[in-house]
A = this chain, B = another copy of it.
Amino acid sequence: MSAGSGAARTSTNPNQQATGATFVERSRSYVDAKLEQILPPEVTSPQTLHKAMRYSLFAGGKRLRPALALAASEAVGGNFDDAAPVACAVEMIHTYSLIHDDLPAMDDDDLRRGRPTCHKVYGDAMAILAGDALLLHAFRVLLGHTPAAIGPRLLTILVDATWAMVRGQVYDTLGGFEASMPPADRVRQTHELKTGALIRASVVMGGLCAQPEPDSPDDAAVLARLDRAGACVGLAFQIVDDLLDVTQTTESAGKRTGKDAQAGKLTYPGVLGLEASREQARRLLDQAQAEISDLGAQAEGLRSVFALLHERTR
């Protein structure tokens, strides 16, 4: 994807993208170690269930949602440890959604991150149950590892985001839009629900973990900014995903590409065209950067992840 006219903007600063790659790498190592601790060991009975959960959770994911949660924590003065439970929880929710979405009854995908999907290895029944278990374990982690003062609030955000994902998956897979809704609104609504909500929640929850007084006017204002930035980034992420589905080969993507068009799904390039979709993604990422522009040097990590998203190639 060409940086085009956006090359001079904040969101496509090459230095920031390099920093973003470094940040994501650092946060990935951190989160992988935390997930390893927080997940029941593979020898837990029934072993196949725990193997299936780990197979999908440790499949080489980018850990983008955890990176956003950890960076958001730093952006408001916290550290990685403050947001560790949230970082793990959002990745488990994301993995649950991938496992269920890949099922033959849903998107019927055999390949994910270059490996056979969970149900191809463990069967459909186990894939359904491993997905359910990861969903439940995410809530368990938040319940067991976050401060009492913010635990219920974090849980509410995560439950609502997961519920949004389910609705988004319905629109994406089975339709059900209001008849009067134009295609551009349909695709935006689907993307905001299916992908945007969890990314948005990752940013907000990460920030919330590091806020000593989330109900104070100052902290609430910062959270509102993170929320708006997260919403922009969440939608931009799925637009970029749509673009990659059109432009990338299966080999470089590590999953089947061109499938959206084959499945007759609503996509940004399909509805708006390639250029307008790129422009939309850039605009959203610029808006996200603007929302966090006054957070100071501690927000550099978050800025760099936003910038990286702009040029994401896998």
Contacts and interface: CB of A to CB of B under 8 A. Distances in A.
A101 to B, nearest CB: 10
Contact of A46 (B45, B126, B133, B171): B171
A159 interface: yes
A140 B166 contact: no
B159 A143 contact: yes
Interface string A124-152: 11111100110111011001100010011
A173 interface: yes
A160 B140 contact: yes
B143 A148 contact: no
Interface string A159-185: 110110011011101111110000000
Contact of A163 (B47, B100, B140, B170): B140
Given A143-B155, A155-B139, A176 B46 contact: yes
Nearest to A134: B166
Contact of A159 (B123, B140, B167): B140
A103 interface: yes
Contacts of A123: 105, 174
B166 A132 contact: yes
Contacts of A100: 128-129, 132
B135 A132 contact: yes
A46 B46 CA distance: 36
A106 B167 CA distance: 23
Interface string A168-210: 0111011111100000000000000000000000000000000
A176 B129 contact: no
A49 interface: yes
A124 B152 contact: no
Contacts of A124: 105
**Residue of A46, A106, A143, A178 most packed against chain B (CB within 10 A):** A46
A81 B136 CA distance: 27
A5 interface: no
A48 interface: yes
Contacts of A159: 136, 139-140, 143
29 contacts: A45-B176, A46-B174, A47-B176, A48-B170, A48-B174, A48-B176, A49-B166, A49-B167, A100-B129, A105-B124, A105-B125, A105-B127, A106-B125, A123-B174, A125-B174, A129-B166, A129-B170, A132-B132, A133-B167, A135-B135, A136-B159, A137-B163, A139-B139, A139-B155, A140-B159, A140-B163, A143-B159, A148-B152, A151-B152
Given A103-B128, A123-B174, A132-B135, 10 more contacts: A46-B176, A46-B177, A48-B174, A100-B128, A103-B125, A105-B105, A132-B166, A133-B166, A140-B159, A140-B163
Interface of A: 45-49, 100, 103, 105-106, 123-129, 132-133, 135-137, 139-140, 143-144, 148, 151-152, 155-156, 159-160, 162-163, 166-167, 169-171, 173-178
